[in-house]
Structures are given as C-alpha cells and as structure tokens.
Homo-oligomer: A and B are copies of this chain.
C-alpha cells in the first residue's frame, strides 16, 4: 500500500491533483489508515496512470471519465472509445491547421519589421489591422486544458 506521496512519485502527478481527481470522482475514495491518511493499491496506480496518459494526449477530463467507465467493463463494445479517440484526433487536426496559419501570419509580421520606432513597426501595424493578414479570419484553437509551466512528469 502506497501513501499519496508515493503514488504521486509513481505516476508523476502532483499530490493536490490526486486529491482533486478524487474530489471530482475520477479516482475512487481510497482506504485510510486509522489516522485518516490515504492508502493506495496497484489498481489505483493503474487507474491514475490511465488518467494521466489520457490527459497527456490532450483528452479533456469529461472524455477521460467516459473512457474510464468503458475500461471498467471489458465486455462492452469499444465503439464509443473509438469515437472519442476519433473526435480527439479531429480536434488535434483542427488546432494544427489553425496554428499553422497563425505561424504563417506571425512569420510575415516579424519578417516585415525592419526595426525602428513603434510608429513604423510592421508588427504593431499588422496587429492593429487584420486587413494585413492573409487568412480571412483566425480561428481560436480553443484548447480546454491547463495553464501550467512544464515542470511535470518524471515517470518511474
């Protein structure tokens, strides 16, 4: 049986995050010691690994929840799991397209600026007027994810 800190180390998940997953019902309430501390078994380790892997692949928690439900009973058809994955793929492709076009605009913007004062800056000018852009509109990537510095992950 592992304490929460060991589970954290084992899965590369921060301790408050584990408790958060428990709060929202992604992880079942674990056993407790007499002194009220959480104790986890292998099942929980696997479940948390599954969750983290899904998150790293960009699935939103709602999808992770659905995938966990599915994986909890192996007799069911996997059709909906595949559907979720295909949706996620589409989402990733949407973001890729939008980022690619964004990259182009940013490059143009930066290339055109020769330096000097703000009055002559092509970057500022381009930002002020979308008419300078190639794309007729920019679609927001709409990520639905986290906002954390990349100071994570250190798997066992």
Contacts and interface: CB of A to CB of B under 8 A. Distances in A.
A133 to B, nearest CB: 8
Interface in A140-156: 140-150, 152-153, 155
B143 A74 contact: no
Contact of A85 (B49, B86, B110, B130): B110
Given A58-B102, A67-B124, A100-B96, A153 B141 contact: no
Contact of A138 (B56, B128, B137, B146): B56
A82 B150 contact: no
A57 interface: yes
A126 to B, nearest CB: 8
Number of chain A interface residues as a range = 35 or more
Contacts of A120: 78
Contacts of A103: 89, 92-93, 96
Interface of A: 46, 49-50, 53-58, 67, 70-71, 73-79, 81-82, 85-86, 88-89, 92-93, 95-96, 99-100, 102-103, 105-107, 109-110, 113, 115-121, 123-124, 127-130, 137-150, 152-153, 155
23 contacts: A53-B127, A56-B138, A57-B105, A57-B127, A70-B124, A71-B118, A76-B118, A77-B118, A78-B121, A81-B113, A81-B124, A82-B123, A85-B109, A86-B110, A92-B99, A96-B96, A96-B100, A99-B99, A137-B155, A140-B146, A142-B145, A142-B150, A143-B145
